[in-house]
Structure 1
Amino acid sequence: MKKYPYYLLVLVMFITGFVAVAQEIEENKNLIQNVKGRKLLSLNGRWNYIIDPYEMGFYDYRYEPFDQSKNRTGGFYDNKNQSDKSELIEYNFDLSPQLNVPGDWNSQDEKLDLYEGTIWYRKVFRYTPETGKKYYLYFGAVNYEAHVYVNGKKAGMHKGGFTPFQFDVTDKLKDGENFVVVKADNKRKAEEVPTVNTDWWNYGGITRDVYIVELPESHIADYKVQLEKGNLNLITGFVQLDGDRSNQPVTIAIPELKINTTVSTDASGKAIFSIQAKKISHWSPDNPKLYDVNVSTASDKVKDKIGFRTIEIKGTDIMLNNKSVFLRGISIHDENPLIKGRFRGQGDMRMMLEWAKELNCNYVRLAHYTHNEEMVRLADELGLMLWAEVPVYWTIAWENPATFHNARQQLTDMVDRDKNRASVIVWSIGNETPLSEPRHKFMGEMAAHARSLDDTRLVAAALEVHREGTDIIVNDPLGDKLDLASFNQYGGWYWEMPQNLHQYNFKIKLNKPVVITEFGGGAVAGFHADAETRFSEEFQEEVYIHQLKMLEKIEALRGMTPWILADFRSPRRQHPVFQDFWNRKGLLSETGQKKKAFYVLKNYYDKKEQEYK
């Protein structure tokens, strides 16, 4: 047998894996920017559903997918009913129960509380497509793997539970009654992103908005309108067209700034612009100013509201609009503690952000995945800076090409969607990923990819730390490729007692601003005891008091997002009395009750606000 060099075998394996992924996953090309600014038919509402743990609606008895067989029949996506009484059909959407969309299935049906697997959704609607228009079926998010069919024909599939995706369905819609069928599968797998091991509830289903989007044949597919890095008066960006692309005039107008600039597209349909602007009122937490921005062509027009600000690092300072800022933050999950399940709409999101502002936050970490676009837009409006993250969490399959491709695509989709939001100041490529050479390569390439997508924001991750005696060591090599020395540490909870934290010192081998991405401890609201009793409000209060004193020793400390604003559900938290499937590290309970630690952190933030005036 002929022997080949090892590196050639590795290369062949990588290419083979990459091609397999490329064939399996339909990437978002020119993901629609500002989808709610377009002409839409909402498919939100009640969808019929069928629970399918054996996936009999997708595979035949030989475990071959129906949609890849010769006759492509037999799958639930056909949405069939009996044509005569002798016909054998072993499912029926019309007689099946319904779920609300958007919404997770776990919180809507008690028997689905812990369900992980496949559920089929069906929506029937009437529509009249017009000749000369383009039609896309757009999903805000489906967790985790989605196979989508329109009128029995496959539109495509998507992996990733928290990012938007779309399919061109122009040739699949018909005049009159139409139906969409979605196979949603939230099974955890070692090679996926996130992997099998997480510390949050694996809510399944169509968790965000669904639309039919109508666009002109030649339309504005994408755009970016932001300040040039380091320049408070230069607005730069691009507009990307689909359809009739080459040599098309594109106008960017910001009426309040008296800007009306026209540029032409190149052969690829892209128009790049640079506009000098005067008297810009810069976006900040104290001044969340948003401007009406209009992007138009001869056949299409999009309106957006965009804030303009710069974010940079100078030495160990974080500079917002050339002024040093301390990030008074908190972490948030995409979950309403008061009503079980994912956020159901703007009211849920606004409540959480208003709680953060009540804590005197100017900054929020949206953990540990991409949150709803509406959440980011609300942060724009309310004046909250954001850390936006992808779910490269704990132990990913670092050497699997398909896993990297998936993670990179989720990062791409997050940046593409939110690049015009002033509130987003940090792109995070992951959380608490253990050290190894494959990890360094994977994460290094993720950092480089983030910078290639957007060079106007900071790139970060929650780095690894370790302890040597009373020294807390931060020397993760990934830190060299990031803008912040950001890391999690749980002194007083997972190691050491709170009152002993004064003995510890940080050795941070990165000359960068330090942002503590997590610290904290659990408490059951209303459970009071002495300060040494676990899960009492007094114990959590002690953790915060002594953590903040310890952190103040760090000269380069420029921010933090303690874990977490509100209690959230997690299958990892098993204690039947104190947890009962809840992570109790919230500063507010599942009923909205503020714990004693809330006031400790607020008092600290009040002082920091005065210090950075």
Structure 2
Amino acid sequence: MKKQHFKPLNSSLLYSIAVACLLFSLHDIHAQRTKTNINENWSYLENDTNKLTTANQAKNWTVLHLPHTWNSEDATDNTPGYRRAASWYKKQLVIPKIAANTVYQLYFEGSNITTKVYVNGKEAGDHIGGYIGFTIDITNLIKQGNNEVAVRVDNSYNPEIIPSQKSDFTIYGGITRDVWLLALPKNHIDNLKITTPKVSNQSASLNVVATINNLEANKDVKLEVSLKNPKGKIVATKKVVPNSVKTTITFDNIKNPELWDTQKPNLYTVTVSLLDKNKEKDLLTEKVGFRWFEFKDHGPFYLNGKRLLIRGTHRHEEHAGVGAAMTNKQHRADMEAIKEMGANFVRLAHYPQDPEIYKACDELGLLVWDELPWCRGGLGNEVWQTNSKNMLTEMIAQNYNHPSIILWSLGNEMNWLPDFPGGDDPEKTTAFLSELNDLAHKLDPTRKTAIRKYYEGSHVVDVFSPSIWSGWYSGSYKSYQKALDTYKKEYKHFIHAEYGGDSHVGRHTEKPVTGEGLIKSEGWEEAIVQTQVANIAQIGDWSENYIVDLFDWHLHVAENDPNFVGNIQWAFKDFATPLRPEDDIPYMNQKGLTDRNGNPKDAYYVFKSYWSEKPFTYIESHTWTERQGPKGIARNISVYSNCNQVTLYHNGKSLGKKQRDSKAFPACGLNWDLNFEEGKNTLIAVGETKDGKTVSDTINVNYRFKKNDTALGLTLSSEKLKNGNYLVTALAVDKNNLRCLDYEERVYFQCLKGGTTMKNQGTPTGSESIKMANGKASIEVIPDADGTPIVMTVLNQNFKGEFLIIKQ
């Protein structure tokens, strides 16, 4: 977990920053471009003044490293709302020498929501929109030696900028992604736009459009373009004289291309050199993938001429402890975990994401639905419309070359909860959607457009997703096939984005609430949550068991429907939202397959059993090791595995070998009835692969025949973790000191002395306020360095507080 440490700014530190900046090596920028990361050693001021002079007079600047958000904790603390205001960032940038004929720029990968940049006291430029990169030219404002860069970032409520504040996710403020100093030759390649007009197994064509900056000042130049295959061998090269600012270089017959697909994401490298009298003046490289795709009318999806069932999930850009200010390593880890699960598709919800994400998707073989952040809020005024069009233009321009992207989404739930009077007018909203659709196709004729849950616009875009939350916000999950059959006929290019439900880690029940007799089991249309219509989201127990069954059913249906495009589960990780203070972990949307730290829940292994190739077995459940029930009552145990055959052992005795069958439910037929013995029960699942290899999983279950009585109090205990911290655990107990496995009320942790709780993390062990899971809740505590005994307390509305002293 990344921690951000703050300390007061002083003169010696300023000197250190200046010395550090001198390390930037820019000695040859007159001949070639350089790109220098400048994330380290920024000063930060939490003050929403709009005047630089006022900010400079403040005394409470602190030092930090980028990326950064001021909402890393307040988005998930126990106080309603989170800071929506402005802050200032400042950096002392030393440039030892200003090179002649050189353009200097600052490149921000993302700064949320509006940004204004000053250099040496003068305004250099600004940007609207928090999820798309932008450059600021600082050439005429810098000087040799020390330069001051100041940045004002503002995430205040602004109805004229998407996404709407009514969206079900946190709009993090700050410079949330990397910042770079660019030095470019005055006559340089501004960008490359790469398309692959014709692709087949036998041949491919390639168009490279190079935009040249300041071409008119130096016409004695040439462009040299080379194409290297995935192994690094040059397979095509061409040298041309630029005929305009935008010059197109075409390769017509690339034989037997190594295609990019989800199993083998082959990437070629395009290198474009700007030559002045045959001497290299500038150079730019891009990756390219040769692939083609098609959404069959009322049918499945094809990639490179072969049917591909889309197996997708969603990804929000945030992580425990840092919010949206994630490192590239953390970004990459998310995508690798998604790929390891076996997914081949990711919808980026609900905004363009960090450049590292697209790079990872290209390299890992993950198809991408990239989304304009028009999320809720309805149609806005003219300024709103201009801002939205600009964002779409920037999104497509920035991400155009990524072979992983196949869909430009124009929005999500757009007409819901309007921010402007009349903003939910369907006629006007659809007219503007049509404008966006035309703009997207003009900017990129090679990809498809999409939206989700705006039915009036379903005929406008190429691909449409209705809202189907079978078994959560509406109906029963067993009505899923009926919903698919209906929508496949209704929509020409139908895809299903968003399904699932919330689960609280460690909460289990022998009989999950399914809604039988309480809800209309044959329905599938989503009932808006705010109504009184009964649904599992309202009346369910949020157990891991129920969500496992729900996902298992959805996958069981999807994997066996030959005419289905595929679906996209919501969402991969738990994420913060200001709209859900009442959730088991406050302000967390707990629909993730992993917790906010990326630790898998049971549901992760359901998907892995259907999708992944690396052999594994997983007994449901590693977080359900304390159970109870009458003697002689058989319990059904499911094993999730991708192996052909699995044998389950109970206390050393084989319960038989079973064959995996994707048409069987639950767990593809890998489930056994067994009678637990009182006390310790050891379960071992052994899976056998096609080539005779075995993999296994083991859990120990403590089973009791005596049911707990009513909870009468709480107990506290602790264990020391490998990282030196302590895990403090509260249990709800009855009069016989039995853990109350049916107790789910909220408890509140507090460290009174000797340490600091890992609070505001939005994780199962990182929240001071949390509902119990089977009568249990825990929190991690960081001990003070001086060894003072830790004093912990836990409270709730039903019992008096309990105390625990931990002697270090």
TM range, normalised to the smaller chain? 0.7 to 0.9
- Asked if 1:117 is matched to 2:111, the reply is no
Q: Give per-residue Cα distances to partners, 1:149-190, cap 9 Å, x unaligned.
A: 011110111110100111211101110000110110001222
Give matches, 1:361-440, under 5 Å. Answer: 361-396=343-378, 398-434=379-415, 436-440=426-430
Partner of 1:450: 440
Flag the 1:240–1:591 CA change in 2: closer, same or farther, 3 A. Answer: closer
Partner of 1:105: 70
Partner of 1:220: 189
- Asked if 1:574 is matched to 2:581, the reply is yes
**Quick one: which of 329, 346, 360 aligns to 2:342?**
360
Give the conservation status (yes or no) of the 8 Å contact 2:204–2:254. yes
Distance 1:493 1:96 in 2: 47
Partner of 1:45: 40
Describe the SS at the equivalent of 1:300. strand
- Asked if 1:584 is matched to 2:590, the reply is yes
Q: Give per-residue Cα distances to partners, 1:91-123, cap 9 Å, x unaligned.
A: 24xx51123211212227899992110101101
Distance 2:198 2:390 in 1: 24
Partner of 2:719: none
Flag the 1:209–1:493 CA change in 2: closer, same or farther, 3 A. Answer: same
**Quick one: which of 463, 480, 495 aligns to 1:484?**
463
- Asked if 1:605 is matched to 2:603, the reply is no
Distance 2:206 2:45 in 1: 50
Give the conservation status (yes or no) of the 8 Å contact 1:116–1:186. yes
Partner of 2:122: 153
TM-superposed deviation, 1:248? 4.6
**Quick one: which of 243, 250, 254 aligns to 2:227?**
254
**Quick one: which of 131, 138, 148 aligns to 1:162?**
131
Partner of 1:525: 505
Q: Give per-residue Cα distances to partners, 1:334-356, cap 9 Å, x unaligned.
A: 1124x431252221122111221
Give matches, 1:196-215, under 5 Å. Answer: 196-215=165-184
Q: Give per-residue Cα distances to partners, 1:437-476, cap 9 Å, x unaligned.
A: 1110111111111111112222211133xxxxxxxxxxx3
**Quick one: which of 26, 38, 58 aligns to 1:91?**
58
Distance 1:220 1:242 in 2: 6
Structure 2 portions without partners, runs of 5+ = 1-31, 276-280, 416-423, 514-539, 614-641, 643-660, 663-808
TM-superposed deviation, 1:498? 3.8
Partner of 2:209: 238
Give the conservation status (yes or no) of the 8 Å contact 2:593–2:601. yes
Flag the 1:144–1:535 CA change in 2: closer, same or farther, 3 A. Answer: same
Q: Which amino acid is the alignment partner of residue 238 of structure 2?
A: T
- Asked if 1:129 is matched to 2:98, the reply is yes
Greater mean deviation of Cα atoms: 362-371 or 586-595: 586-595
Bigger-Rg structure (1/2): 2
Distance 1:549 1:461 in 2: 26
Partner of 1:66: none
TM-superposed deviation, 1:596? 2.7
Give the conservation status (yes or no) of the 8 Å contact 1:492–1:547. no
Partner of 1:335: 318
Partner of 1:463: 453
Q: Which has the higher helix share?
A: 1
Flag the 1:56–1:291 CA change in 2: closer, same or farther, 3 A. Answer: closer
Distance 1:210 1:179 in 2: 15
Describe the SS at the equivalent of 1:101. coil
Q: Which amino acid is the alignment partner of residue 262 of structure 2?
A: P
Greater mean deviation of Cα atoms: 328-337 or 534-543: 534-543
TM-superposed deviation, 1:204? 0.8
Flag the 1:365–1:272 CA change in 2: closer, same or farther, 3 A. Answer: same
Q: Give per-residue Cα distances to partners, 1:307-361, cap 9 Å, x unaligned.
A: 2222233433422222221111110111124x43125222112211122122211
- Asked if 1:291 is matched to 2:268, the reply is yes
**Quick one: which of 143, 147, 155 aligns to 1:174?**
143
Partner of 1:15: none
Distance 1:252 1:340 in 2: 41
Describe the SS at the equivalent of 1:514. coil
- Asked if 1:536 is matched to 2:549, the reply is no
TM-superposed deviation, 1:194? 0.8
Indicate the structure whose relative CO is greater, using CA pairs within 8 Å and at least 6 residues apart.
1
Distance 1:569 1:318 in 2: 33
Give the conservation status (yes or no) of the 8 Å contact 1:390–1:429. yes
Give the conservation status (yes or no) of the 8 Å contact 2:67–2:325. no
Distance 2:585 2:190 in 1: 46
TM-superposed deviation, 1:536? 0.9
Q: Give per-residue Cα distances to partners, 1:372-393, cap 9 Å, x unaligned.
A: 1111001111111111111010
Q: How many percent of aligned residue pairs carry the same amino acid?
A: 30
Flag the 1:102–1:497 CA change in 2: closer, same or farther, 3 A. Answer: same
Structure 1 portions without partners, runs of 5+ = 1-36, 59-73, 80-89, 465-475
Greater mean deviation of Cα atoms: 451-460 or 38-47: 38-47
Partner of 1:31: none
Number of matched pairs: 530
Q: Which amino acid is the alignment partner of residue 203 of structure 1?
A: Y
Give the TM-score normalised by structure 1: 0.81
- Asked if 1:279 is matched to 2:256, the reply is yes
Q: Which amino acid is the alignment partner of residue 341 of structure 1?
A: G
Distance 1:267 1:358 in 2: 46
Distance 1:258 1:505 in 2: 45
Q: Which amino acid is the alignment partner of residue 249 of structure 1?
A: K
Flag the 1:190–1:177 CA change in 2: closer, same or farther, 3 A. Answer: same
TM-superposed deviation, 1:506? 4.9
Q: Which amino acid is the alignment partner of residue 339 of structure 2?
A: K
Q: Give per-residue Cα distances to partners, 1:225-253, cap 9 Å, x unaligned.
A: 23115555111231111112468532220
TM-superposed deviation, 1:505? 6.1
Distance 1:285 1:428 in 2: 21
Distance 1:511 1:181 in 2: 50
Q: Which amino acid is the alignment partner of residue 439 of structure 2?
A: H
Give the conservation status (yes or no) of the 8 Å contact 1:263–1:273. no
Distance 1:480 1:375 in 2: 30
Q: Give per-residue Cα distances to partners, 1:196-243, cap 9 Å, x unaligned.
A: 211112211001111121111111111122311555511123111111
Partner of 2:599: 593
Q: Which amino acid is the alignment partner of residue 286 of structure 2?
A: D
Flag the 1:591–1:156 CA change in 2: closer, same or farther, 3 A. Answer: closer
Flag the 1:501–1:558 CA change in 2: closer, same or farther, 3 A. Answer: closer
Flag the 1:328–1:550 CA change in 2: closer, same or farther, 3 A. Answer: closer
C-alpha RMSD of matched pairs (Å): 2.7
**Quick one: which of 99, 102, 108 aligns to 1:139?**
108
Give the conservation status (yes or no) of the 8 Å contact 1:458–1:483. yes
Describe the SS at the equivalent of 2:391. helix
Greater mean deviation of Cα atoms: 285-294 or 140-149: 285-294
Partner of 2:330: 348
